[in-house]
Amino acid sequence: MRATTTASTLEQDRAAFIERYPAYAKTGAIDELRDTEFRRLDDQKLVYLDYTGGGLYPASVVERHATFLTTHVLGNPHSVNPASALAGRCVEACRAHVLRFFNASPDEYAVVFTANASHALKLVGEAYPFEPGDQLLLTYDNHNSVNGIREFDRAHGAETTYVPVIPPDLRVEGARLERLLSRATPGGHNLFAYPAQSNFSGVQHPLEWIATAQNHGWDVLLDAAAFVPTNCLDLSRVHPDYVALSFYKMFGHPTGVGALIAKRSALAKLHRPWFSGGTITVASVQGDRHFLAEGAAAFEDGTLDYTNIPAVDAGLSFLDEVGLDLIHERVSCLTGWLLETMLALHHPNGRPLIKIFGPVTTADRGATIAFSVHDQAGAVVDHDDVERRAAEAGISLRTGCFCNPGAGEVALGLSAGELDRCFTDSGDRMTKEDFGRCLEGGKSPGAVRVSLGLVSTFADVYAFVRFAAGLT
C-alpha cells in the first residue's frame, strides 16, 4: 500500500484503503448512522479515538430514554404501588434483555446490575471464598480493577500468581499458562481472571482458556469491558463463571450502569461480606441475624439506578439493530489500515516515528492500539505533549498507562528490579511525577492509545494519521 504523505488526499487514500479492505464498503450503514445519530461529531469537527475509554451514545437512545422518562412515572422498585411496579418491570425486562443479548440461558446465568465493570469485579473479589492455600491467577495485562482483587486474596492468606505477557505482541505464552492452570489447589478455591481484550494492547486472549481453566478446577472471571463494544460474546458457546462489563463502553449512555453476569452456581459460591438494604429477605437488630436474598438480589446493594436502566434496554436494541458483526468488521478494517499506516510513518532520516505496543496485524486483536511517538533521534516524545497537540487538533485520544500497569511495564521495558527500587523508601504515597522521576534513563511511564468503535470512519483514522505524520 501507499504510505500516507501530505501529497495524497482523503479521497485517494480512501479508495486505496477500500481496495485493500473491500469488506469496509459493506459497512456503509454505519456512515448513515454517523450522519444521523452522531452528527454532532462532524458538526463540531471532532475526531473521537477513545472508544475504549468510553463509547459514544446515539442520539436516538438518549431521545428514547428521555421520552420514556417524561411519559412514565417510575418509583423505587420493590413495592406494588404502580410507579414502583413499573420500575420493577423495566429492571426485570432489561435483565432479560442483557441475557438475550449475550445469548445466555436464564437457567444458567443471572444478571446483577452494578455501577460499572469495576464494581462487578469488586463484588466477585470481596465475596470469593479465598482461604489460605487458595489461588488467584491473573494475567499481566489485567486492568487495575481486576488487579485489585489480589488485595482480597492476600487478606485471606491465599496466593496471587501473575502470568506475564511477552513482547512484542504482549500475548501470554500458552504452555506457561497451561502449566499454571494445572497447579490448581485440589479441593480449594481457584480463581483465574483475565481480559477478553486488553485495554492496553488490544490483544484478544483465547476464550478457549475458559473451558481449559475450568477443567483444571478454576473458576473463571472474564473481564469483558473492552471486548463487548465491538465483539460478540456468546455465553452459549463459552461459559465463564463471572463476566464483568460497563454499558457506557458499549453505547455511551447511560454511564453508571454495568453488570456482573454470573452463573447461578458461581453466584451461590460467593459469600457477601455484608448486607444492606435490598440484599436481604429478613434482617433483625435484636435477633442479630440476616438472611440474604436469592441470586442477583443478594448482590444489588440499595436502590438500583432504575431511571437509567431503561436506557440500557434502548442501547442494547440499538446495537442489535446495527449488528455487532457489522461494527466488528468495520473496526477490523480500520485497525488493519491504521496499524500498517502508522508503522509506515518515518522521519526524513529514516527512523520510525511510531512504535506500536502489541500485535501489528488484526489477527486476534481488537481496535485498541497503544504506541509511543519518537523524535528524529529515536527518543520518546512525552505522551502528555502528544495528547495536548492532539487536543489542539480536535482529536480525542488517551495517554498514560490506561489503568493497565502490567502490560505497560512490559511494553515500556520496566523491570521488576527497577520497580522494586522505586517503591522501596517511597513511603505511603507516590505521585505519577515521583514515579516518572525514579525511572531509569528517562523511560516514560506511559504510552499513547487510540481506539475505534461504534461509528468510527475512515476519515477519523485518516485525520489521526495526518496528525501523527505532522509530529515529525
Ligand X SMILES: Cc1ncc(COP(=O)(O)O)c(C=O)c1O
Catalytic residues: 403
The site map against ligand X for 42-81 (x = CB under 6 A) is ----------x-----------------------------
Q: Which is nearer to ligand X, 181 or 244 (CB)?
A: 244
Using the rule CB under 6 A, is 143 a contact of ligand X?
yes
Cβ within 8 Å of residue 423, ≥6 positions away: 430
Which segment (112-120, 123-131, 338-346, 413-421) binds ligand X by CB under 6 A?
A: 112-120
Distance CA 304, CA 311 (A): 13
The SS3 of residue 270 is: coil
Write the DSSP symbol of residue 19: H
Contact status, residue 359 vs residue 201, Cβ threshold 8 Å: yes
Choose between 65 and 449: whose C-beta lies nearer to ligand X: 449
Query: Which of 4, 27, 116, 362 is the binder for ligand X (CB under 6 A)?
Result: 116
Position among 56, 225, 250, 345 found at the interface with ligand X (CB under 6 A): 225
Interface with ligand X, residue 4, by CB under 6 A? no
Nearer to ligand X by Cβ, of 143 and 253: the residue is 143
246: contact with ligand X by CB under 6 A: yes
When computed from its CA atoms, the radius of gyration of the chain, rounded to whole angstroms, is 23
Residue 223 contacts ligand X per CB under 6 A: yes
Report the half-sphere exposure of 361 (CA within 13 A, side-chain side). 2
Cβ within 8 Å of residue 16, ≥6 positions away: 1, 2
User: Contacts with ligand X: how many residues (CB under 6 A)?
Assistant: 12
Q: Contact between 117 and ligand X (CB under 6 A)?
A: yes
Which of the ranges 102-110, 223-231, 285-293, 449-457 carries the binding residues for ligand X, by CB under 6 A? 223-231
CB of 160 to ligand X, least distance (A): 18
d(CA 465, CA 343): 10
- Taking the complex as a whole, the smallest distance from the CB of residue 302 to ligand X amounts, in Å, to 18
C-alpha cell at 131: 482461604
Q: Are 244 and 222 in contact (CB under 8 A)?
A: yes
C-alpha angle 302-303-306 in degrees, rounded to nearest 5:
155
Pick the closer one to ligand X by CB: 246 or 332.
246
φ/ψ (deg, to 5) at 332: -65, -45
Residue 34 or 365: the one with the smaller Cβ distance to ligand X is: 365
Provide the edge-to-edge strand list for the sheet that holds 447-451: 354-357, 368-373, 447-451, 398-400
Q: Is 448 helix (H, G, I), strand (E, B) or coil?
A: strand
Q: Taking contact as CB under 6 A, which single stretch among the options 110-118, 201-209, 372-380, 421-429 is the one that binds ligand X?
A: 110-118
Contact between 300 and ligand X per CB under 6 A: no
Contact between 139 and ligand X by CB under 6 A: the answer reads no
| Phi, psi angle pair for 137, to nearest 5° | -115, 125
Interface positions, 392-451, toward ligand X (CB under 6 A): none
CA gap 420, 442 in Å, rounded: 17
Choices 38-46, 151-159, 221-229, 309-317; region in contact with ligand X by CB under 6 A? 221-229
By CB under 6 A, tell whether 145 contacts ligand X.
yes
Helix (H, G, I), strand (E, B) or coil at 370: strand
Q: In the set 99, 137, 180, 226, which binds ligand X (CB under 6 A)?
A: 226
Interface residues with ligand X (CB under 6 A)? 52, 116-118, 143, 145, 195, 199, 223, 225-226, 246
